[in-house]
Amino acid sequence: MAERRPLEFIGNNAVLHSDGRVCETAEDFIRSPHFRQVLDSFIDGLSQHHSMLLGIFGEEEEHFVSRIKSFLDGLKSGGESSAVIKEKRAVPVEERDLLVETLVLLLKLKASEVPAVLKDAERLLKDSGLFMQFVDALYEHWRRFDRLLVVSNDRHNLRPRTVIKENIEKLNSLIINIYRDIRESLMGDPPRTYRQVRAGAEMTVITQKHPAFPLNGVYSRFALVPMIRQSIIAPPLILNPPMNKRTGSFEKTEKNPAGLFDVKPGDWLCYPAKVGELIIYVYFHKVFIELGFSLCNLFALAYDSELEKKPDAVYFYGVPGDCLDQIASFPTVFFEDADNGFLTAAVPGRDEFGYFGYLKKMMLTLHNIIMMKKGRFPYHGAFVRVILKGGKEANILLIGDSGAGKSETLEAFRKVGDEYIQDLVIIADDMGSIALPASGRPKGYGTEIGAFLRVDDLGPGYAFGQLDGAIIMSAARTNARIIIPVTPFENIIKGHDVDFVLYANNYDETGPDKPVIERFNTCEEALSVFREGKVMSKGTTTTTGIVGTYFANIFGPPQYQELHDEIADRYFKVFFSSNVFVGQMRTQLGVSGSERTGPEESAKALLETILKQP
């Protein structure tokens, strides 16, 4: 690991920095300042609790033991709290140095042989069983961190495969083998079972400074922020970000947030994302580094040639301080920078905004606004191309809010239609846009190469069958999420005819007067349902019960409602005039007891409807 920057601990993240070099030998690694940081943090944590593992350094100080006993006896008789309970056990630097040297010798010598070389190590190894527990706990302490690696390639001399071999795999093997060598030295024999877990970096980015930064003015301060040029992850990953839900709305502001805060380039990274046909520079602060790294599973990374011109938008995620609170009633804001010809957005760096939804949804809000300004219809929904055996095709757009049952229905469709389906191609999982070509049917486009899905509402075959490529967030909490790649970028950008436009209604229970799939007879009837945008909230935000959102899309259309109204009226008239099937599908995902059966019924009805179409 490079010496030029320290290992950083940011929340539960351990962030290593490298310029393409790692420690070559196990001895170098154990004596490195990075290992010492990990060791010190581990010992300091044990010291707070006076852990028995510190027994390798000798018995607890008798004076403390007697005082803590007196304190506990006093509590029994109603005594008050004492500072003694907060005291830490001191482990001097000399003892820590001795531990490091002992670990170095254990790489090659048996525990019984070490004292002959390092006499003071005898007391550390007096209880070899306790020492082994200490080593095991230290190893797990390290592995409990989300381990990230930032490799600087400003000299343009590193290839991704070289980084994988010489940084990622070498570091992983080094750490695992150090642990195994020390353990075998203590046990005397190799273990009967080996677990080939990952102990090095779980997520890696290769960065470069932008060679010809295309922005000026207040944005020029970000010229030195490293730009991510490749991402390398070792899934499945389980992350636990500070927040598991999103709240509030994205507000338009009349003040450019880019000039409101100081910029330290070393605290930021930039992910230049391809959001459909757009390029958005996403600058994320290190407080949300694990969320920024996770973008690679959702949005394609821009090529070098695509960075030669100005981006379509710039987004600052994790702005320090409270400057954004001064310019809007809720500090998740965007700004039309007319002087530079693009949009700017910003979200604070406080824990309450540490949810991936703030990152993803603001990017899609910027996309939707730009699409509307181009005269396109932005949608919040899933768009898939269904190819049946024999060549029959249908391109289906399911519009609806989060938790409406779009993804669940499509997964159920994949199962119930297995005998009929030749291919099911995902074009958009969450958002996209529709364009009206000079001739022919309306064309649909996507934005993301991945999906950000609720684990709770998906069948085991879906959620767990794709874990090998997944990033899982908030697994133990409500609204647990999974980010998985689902489609190549070429699919989302190609443009596909729109054959079905269905509103995903998750709140109505089906019956004689409420069929699973209902086709609207008039444009006005359709617009009324789509405009209301009703959904039974499933806990993806802080809302509950049945709520209504303009076109089920708070991400741009409500902020530009006059413009969107004109676009929607024009597009829905074209849908009807070009014989697009426009209707609603009752998924029943929000109906108690129908969370599983509802999407299955919807899938069967959708298959029947497709088969009946000429």
What gap in Å lies between CA 47 and CA 519, rounded to an integer?
68
CA angle 538, 544, 549 (to 5 degrees): 85
What gap in Å lies between CA 378 and CA 369, rounded to an integer?
8
What gap in Å lies between CA 14 and CA 16, rounded to an integer?
7
Domain extent listing, the chain? 8-187, 209-373, 379-420+498-612
What gap in Å lies between CA 153 and CA 17, rounded to an integer?
11
The answer to whether residues 376 and 557 touch, using CB atoms and an 8 Å cutoff, is: no
Burial class (CB in 10 A: 0-12, 13-18, 19+), 10: middle
- pLDDT at 238 (0 to 100): 92
Under DSSP, is residue 553 helix (H, G, I), strand (E, B) or coil?
A: coil
What gap in Å lies between CA 279 and CA 49, rounded to an integer?
50
Burial class (CB in 10 A: 0-12, 13-18, 19+), 489: middle
- H or E element in which residue 49 lies: helix 33-49
- pLDDT at 442 (0 to 100): 97
- Angle between helices 128-143 and 170-187 in degrees, nearest 10: 160
What gap in Å lies between CA 71 and CA 49, rounded to an integer?
16
- pLDDT at 334 (0 to 100): 98
Count the Cβ atoms, other than its own, within 10 Å of residue 129: 9
The answer to whether residues 585 and 505 touch, using CB atoms and an 8 Å cutoff, is: yes
CA angle 297, 480, 365 (to 5 degrees): 55
- pLDDT at 462 (0 to 100): 53
**What residues pair up with 501 in beta bridges, in sequence order?**
397, 582
- What's the 3-state SS for 278-310? EEEEEEEEHHHHHHHHHHHHCCEECCHHHHCCC
Burial class (CB in 10 A: 0-12, 13-18, 19+), 550: middle
The answer to whether residues 149 and 158 touch, using CB atoms and an 8 Å cutoff, is: no
Count the Cβ atoms, other than its own, within 10 Å of residue 330: 12
Residue bearing tokens 């932008």 = 210
The answer to whether residues 408 and 458 touch, using CB atoms and an 8 Å cutoff, is: yes
- pLDDT at 318 (0 to 100): 98
What gap in Å lies between CA 436 and CA 573, rounded to an integer?
12
Sheet holding 471-473, edge to edge: 237-239, 471-473, 481-485, 450-454
Burial class (CB in 10 A: 0-12, 13-18, 19+), 81: exposed
What gap in Å lies between CA 371 and CA 365, rounded to an integer?
10
- pLDDT at 3 (0 to 100): 40
Mean pLDDT of successive 10-residue segments in the chain (614 residues)?
Answer: 65 91 88 94 94 91 61 58 72 97 97 95 95 97 96 87 90 95 91 88 95 94 96 93 91 96 96 98 98 98 95 98 95 97 98 96 98 98 94 95 85 90 92 93 96 72 65 88 92 96 95 95 97 81 77 95 97 96 95 91 95 88
DSSP labels, 166-185: IIIIHHHHHHHHHHHHHHHH
- For 295, half-sphere exposure in the C-beta direction (CA atoms, 13 angstrom radius) is 33
CATH class of 379-420+498-612: alpha beta
- pLDDT at 4 (0 to 100): 43
Query: Which tokens in the block code for residue 313?
Result: 């938008």
Query: Which tokens in the block code for residue 20?
Result: 């393409």
